[in-house]
Chains A and B, each alone.
Chain A
């Protein structure tokens, strides 16, 4: 009996230890055993163009998913076993493995999407063999028009460790904040994708929504039994863009195989109507991780398809700068419209001769003629009379060499030269000094002048808007996906430049005349609406007095064709700046594209040679 008593006593001691002293610990273990927190991702907001066309959306597909933390043993073995019942392409495998590596093996990753019913049935029959592998309906981001507007839309991608860290910080920083888009309280594993570039990146906070989660009781086998509690996800808001995607599509096609940038702005509002960077890439390739071959191709191509040209490419504005110079002359009383100069075809400053493109010169030239015929000598003289800093002071508020503040990340400044600028831009003291000779070519938009096409379009819009500066923007409104209630995000006017309307009208008249009888007349003579324009041709490298011959120059050294335009003349609805890289003259290579773009935007005329626009269902 004593023996029995001792043994049972031992059991009671053990039970006391387990159930009383260590109870808390085992209780926690039992809870974590039974409860799984399943993230419920929020539906990402749509991207919608100004006419209601959806250009970024989600689709739901049956997806084979693997919980990385539950993989026992080798990933390759698991995949090869799975591929016995479900087809898994090398690309699927590669994407999956990279996602695993990027995430340091935490989280659930899609291995194959768009499963057929038959494949799903086959998998479900074999499911017991694959713990941690499951089929679920998963939302994928899709850009239905593929390459179209890729630089503007950008893309989303899997959350990287860096993104995760950033979100973690945001989560803490927004604790108790009133910001409706704050991450506060969100279950971060529910955020699996973030916008990496473009609008997807800028409006990430609005688009992503707030993920929810289900607290699910599960069996030892991982089978859900019941939901204990759940916090529903809040879908992201739709972003309505200012862009006219049909205009964008038209221009992209009109560029053909040419590289370049095209920005169209509605002057009165700052709405970006088109934002073209050619060549493009397909943002759909990036969502689940781009495969190395495509990546290599995109990254190493001489054409630089990943380069956002209107935002980051800086070019000399060339003769498209002349209307702004002319306006400066009027505003600063350096010229009257009727003042005339005699153009011999060149201008000598010190011991350097600046040539006009027209051999023998333009003869007697007033302001309007200087623009219509694009006389260089007129602007050499003007630049000399104004000096670099006066030009700088006038051009700066128009936005040249300044960030426009557009809602895209990575915008560059470009260069609007001044004596001050030169001091900071160069290291050697002898280079820091401004030479008067350097001022001359600034007048024709060459020299140190280097702007983005976005700045050029913005500058034109600012002039057309009589000096009321509207920040260019791609998003117009944020829309609630349920109530369809829109909340405008359009910025108010940034500031006003004191421009005399009559001076603006003089410039507009000259630009109108350019389209009627000047350098761009061949493209615009037949237009049914009034419009203004100015061509430009930017040298890619200095000719050193040799004559330029387009066909004999290597492609990447050929001149860039530039053009700025607007229409209609009275209350312009659209202002355009564009460049066609290495294409030659602005009048022959750029202006025809602008004409067709304006025909469509002003008159709704779609060119015959371009296939009809088809809306993707």
Chain B
């Protein structure tokens, strides 16, 4: 009797966790552990934040597990709905959103959420769905439709204003479009123009960063962020403070780091946003080059696994979706670390799993869950 119950329990557990891709799950678990320990350090003095982050991590795992149980077919069916709800929420934000720190990004629907975060998954879902629909009959016109589907949320998010998130959403959509087979002859000119624009920006930074020059389409603070990146020392106590202090924190970490909870830059409040966007500075200061290489390897492994799953996925939808999600993970990690180390401008991009922020974690859990689901259901769909 007892033995039977145990066996049943075992099979139940096996079934429950069969959705978990062990490799992906393991990487996530290690990252979550790192996140937890960094948080115990970065959140020193704010026990609420530590509890919150722990809770959010657990929720992210739950969602990952839940989503991994969902067959990709369902996602495909839900794509339009999710996208539609996301857009509706974005419009709601624009009309009666909550304003914090000068930006209208949040909306209260019982709980306060940030709909732009949803779009990070909703956009690739939608575009993947669209390209799946048009499989075999695709023409140049489809790329235009995809571009419009992408442009709408990007525009709505950009005017919140939230340049960072809108760029991420744009990137997630572009990944789908590129993976869908956008010809290289279309991609290269765009990349070239972008590269030239950045070069021009650097060369003319002196004149265009003058305080009375207004840039079209870009808010004052965003202009400042870009200008500060070009020359952080121009304003060491103001706009450049974030970057300079973060770089000092990273650099002073050295090879082995200062040790857990021993970071002076972070604990003496020199690092702004140390729980959120700049959490990498805390990590880098305390765990050094060694810890950083480990972290980057983990992300690399995560993305590699994600792309491997995508390549082996059965349908165009799952291939596109999996590829885009993997590349979003990459973008987050790269842009965030690049920003903290002073390579990229300060745009509000969290570091996957390490940065504090419920919605972002949920979105990540969702993304990881989708990857697992794709992996789990690869044969089911084929058969």
| A→B interface (CB under 8 Å) | 1, 4-5, 7-8, 10-12, 14-16, 18-20, 22-23, 25-27, 29-31, 33-34, 72, 217-221, 225
Do the beta carbons of A217 and B268 come within 8 Å of each other? Answer: yes
Can you identify 20 A-B contacts, CB atoms within 8 angstroms? A4-B300, A4-B303, A8-B333, A8-B334, A11-B343, A14-B343, A18-B250, A18-B341, A19-B284, A19-B292, A20-B289, A23-B252, A26-B248, A26-B251, A30-B248, A33-B268, A34-B268, A219-B269, A220-B245, A220-B270
Q: Please, how many angstroms separate the alpha-carbon atoms of A18 and B327 in the complex?
A: 26
Do the beta carbons of B248 and A11 come within 8 Å of each other? Answer: no
Q: B122 to nearest A CB, angstroms?
A: 23
A-contact 0/1 string along B257-286, CB 8 Å cutoff: 000000011001110000000000000100
Do the beta carbons of A15 and B284 come within 8 Å of each other? Answer: yes
**Is B37's CB within 8 Å of the partner chain A?**
no
Q: B320 to nearest A CB, angstroms?
A: 17
Using known A-B contacts A15-B284, A30-B249, determine if residue A1 contacts B307 with beta carbons closer than 8 Å: yes
**Is B75's CB within 8 Å of the partner chain A?**
no
Give the 10 A-B residue pairs with the shortest CB-CB distance, closest first. A26-B251, A30-B252, A19-B289, A18-B251, A220-B269, A26-B252, A23-B254, A219-B269, A220-B270, A27-B252
A-contact 0/1 string along B220-259, CB 8 Å cutoff: 0000000000000000010000000101111111110000
Query: For window 293-321 of chain B, which residues contact chain A by CB distance below 8 Å?
Result: 293, 296, 299-300, 303-304, 307
- Chain B residues near A16 (CB-CB < 8 A): 289
| B→A interface (CB under 8 Å) | 237, 245, 247-255, 264-265, 268-270, 284, 288-289, 292-293, 296, 299-300, 303-304, 307, 327, 330, 333-334, 337-338, 341, 343
- Chain A residues near B341 (CB-CB < 8 A): 11, 14-15, 18
Q: Please, how many angstroms separate the alpha-carbon atoms of A326 and B307 in the complex?
A: 119
Do the beta carbons of A19 and B288 come within 8 Å of each other? Answer: yes
Q: Please, how many angstroms separate the alpha-carbon atoms of A15 and B340 in the complex?
A: 10
Using known A-B contacts A14-B341, A33-B264, determine if residue A26 contacts B250 with beta carbons closer than 8 Å: yes
Residue in contact with B251 in the complex, picked from A8, A25, A217, CB distance below 8 Å = A25
- Chain A residues near B284 (CB-CB < 8 A): 15, 19
- Chain B residues near A34 (CB-CB < 8 A): 264-265, 268, 270
Q: Please, how many angstroms separate the alpha-carbon atoms of A219 and B304 in the complex?
A: 41
Q: Please, how many angstroms separate the alpha-carbon atoms of A12 and B253 in the complex?
A: 14
- Chain B residues near A1 (CB-CB < 8 A): 304, 307
Q: A461 to nearest B CB, angstroms?
A: 65
Using known A-B contacts A15-B341, A30-B265, A221-B269, determine if residue A8 contacts B252 with beta carbons closer than 8 Å: no
CB closest chain-B residue, reference A29: B248
Q: A2 to nearest B CB, angstroms?
A: 11
- Chain B residues near A19 (CB-CB < 8 A): 250-251, 253-255, 284, 288-289, 292
Residue in contact with A27 in the complex, picked from B254, B268, B289, B292, CB distance below 8 Å = B254
Q: Please, how many angstroms separate the alpha-carbon atoms of A219 and B247 in the complex?
A: 17
Do the beta carbons of B300 and A15 come within 8 Å of each other? Answer: no
CB closest chain-B residue, reference A34: B264
Do the beta carbons of B248 and A33 come within 8 Å of each other? Answer: yes
- Chain B residues near A26 (CB-CB < 8 A): 247-248, 250-252
- Chain B residues near A10 (CB-CB < 8 A): 338, 343
CB closest chain-B residue, reference A225: B268
| 12 further contact pairs, Cβ within 8 A, besides A15-B250, A23-B253 | A4-B327, A11-B334, A11-B338, A12-B293, A18-B247, A19-B254, A23-B254, A26-B252, A27-B251, A29-B251, A33-B264, A33-B270
Q: Please, how many angstroms separate the alpha-carbon atoms of A23 and B251 in the complex?
A: 5
Q: Please, how many angstroms separate the alpha-carbon atoms of A33 and B289 in the complex?
A: 21
Q: Please, how many angstroms separate the alpha-carbon atoms of A217 and B268 in the complex?
A: 8
- Chain B residues near A11 (CB-CB < 8 A): 296, 334, 337-338, 341, 343
Do the beta carbons of A4 and B330 come within 8 Å of each other? Answer: yes
Q: B125 to nearest A CB, angstroms?
A: 22
Do the beta carbons of B296 and A8 come within 8 Å of each other? Answer: yes
Do the beta carbons of B268 and A15 come within 8 Å of each other? Answer: no
Q: Please, how many angstroms separate the alpha-carbon atoms of A20 and B254 in the complex?
A: 6
Q: B249 to nearest A CB, angstroms?
A: 7
Residue in contact with B255 in the complex, picked from A12, A22, A23, CB distance below 8 Å = A23
Do the beta carbons of A8 and B269 come within 8 Å of each other? Answer: no
Using known A-B contacts A4-B330, A19-B250, A19-B289, determine if residue A218 contacts B300 with beta carbons closer than 8 Å: no
Q: Please, how many angstroms separate the alpha-carbon atoms of A609 and B254 in the complex?
A: 81
Do the beta carbons of A8 and B300 come within 8 Å of each other? Answer: yes
Q: Please, how many angstroms separate the alpha-carbon atoms of A27 and B289 in the complex?
A: 14
CB closest chain-A residue, reference B265: A30
- Chain A residues near B245 (CB-CB < 8 A): 33, 220
Q: Please, how many angstroms separate the alpha-carbon atoms of A218 and B265 in the complex?
A: 10
CB closest chain-A residue, reference B264: A34
- Chain A residues near B289 (CB-CB < 8 A): 15-16, 19-20
Q: Please, how many angstroms separate the alpha-carbon atoms of A219 and B272 in the complex?
A: 12
- Chain A residues near B269 (CB-CB < 8 A): 219-221
- Chain B residues near A14 (CB-CB < 8 A): 338, 341, 343
Q: A394 to nearest B CB, angstroms?
A: 75
Q: B238 to nearest A CB, angstroms?
A: 10
- Chain A residues near B270 (CB-CB < 8 A): 33-34, 219-220
- Chain B residues near A4 (CB-CB < 8 A): 300, 303-304, 307, 327, 330
Q: Please, how many angstroms separate the alpha-carbon atoms of A247 and B264 in the complex?
A: 62
Q: Please, how many angstroms separate the alpha-carbon atoms of A560 and B362 in the complex?
A: 99
CB closest chain-B residue, reference A218: B268
- Chain A residues near B330 (CB-CB < 8 A): 4, 7
Q: B192 to nearest A CB, angstroms?
A: 16
